[in-house]
Amino acid sequence: MNYEIVLEEFKNFTQKFDIKNPDILMKINHSYYVADLASKLAKRLELDEEKRVLLKVIGLLHDLGRFIQYENTGVYSDVNSMMDHADLGINYLFLDSHIKDFKIPEKYHEIMEKVIKNHNKLKIDENLKEEELFLVKFIRDVDKIDILRQEAAREDFIYDTEISNKVKKDFYNHVLINKKDIKSTSEAIVSELAYVFDINFKESYELLNESDNLELYLSVIMVDKQECITEFDLIKKEVRTYLENKIK
């Protein structure tokens, strides 16, 4: 498989959209960052060249469905759009046969479909084979590492309401927060910080730490109410301590 050929077709794909739109450009850049992180993590994990290329390709293509979602609804939200962006990408690549556009050999199709489908799910499919599960965890890691950078680059966020007991419980239990439970900007912030709890490899945590993406994200959060300041200080301490323990 030739990454440069895939990259060229990815550029052709994105030209179908308004690349002057900051939201579209944001998602293009996210795809490039995830592909680059995939290459770095694969090297740290000492994977063979075939897997390195495969994971870099999946990193580049994992969010194709986001472009389709945004074109149809104007938002990057699976809940608000009522569209699962991973499934949209799978449909485009495999149901509509656009995987052929990328000149990707057929032997990779099945595993690519499973990895892309599972990259955004609250829980990973329990029926995956060992190798499939490894690749899914890998892509979920590099995706989450860059989401913190991506979101920090969008705008300043205001943490202005206390979070619900359900969101708080999930956060302090170190589990992902269901998007359906998010009712405020504060809860959306906490749900993205909880991504740190769903990273699978020590080397991924090292990359996250070296990138400084967590601190970048935290730096754009504004808090102005005393009760929120106290709550958010504890949340910051929890996520920072968790990361520190993972890279020891």
User: Domain limits of the chain?
Assistant: 1-154, 156-248
For 115-190, strand residue ranges (E) read 157-159
Q: Return the C-alpha torsion angle 174, 230, 144, 196, nearest 10.
A: -30
Angstrom distance (rounded) from CA 28 to CA 66: 10
Angstrom distance (rounded) from CA 130 to CA 82: 31
Superfamily name and number for 1-154: Hypothetical protein af1432 (1.10.3210.10)
Check residue 126 and report its DSSP letter: T
Per-residue pLDDT of the chain (248 residues; tens, 9 = 90+): 899 999 999 999 999 999 899 999 999 999 999 999 999 999 999 999 999 999 999 999 999 999 999 999 988 887 887 889 999 999 999 999 999 999 999 999 999 999 999 999 999 999 999 999 999 999 999 999 999 999 998 777 899 999 999 999 999 999 999 999 999 999 999 999 999 999 999 999 999 999 999 999 999 999 988 889 999 999 999 999 999 999 98
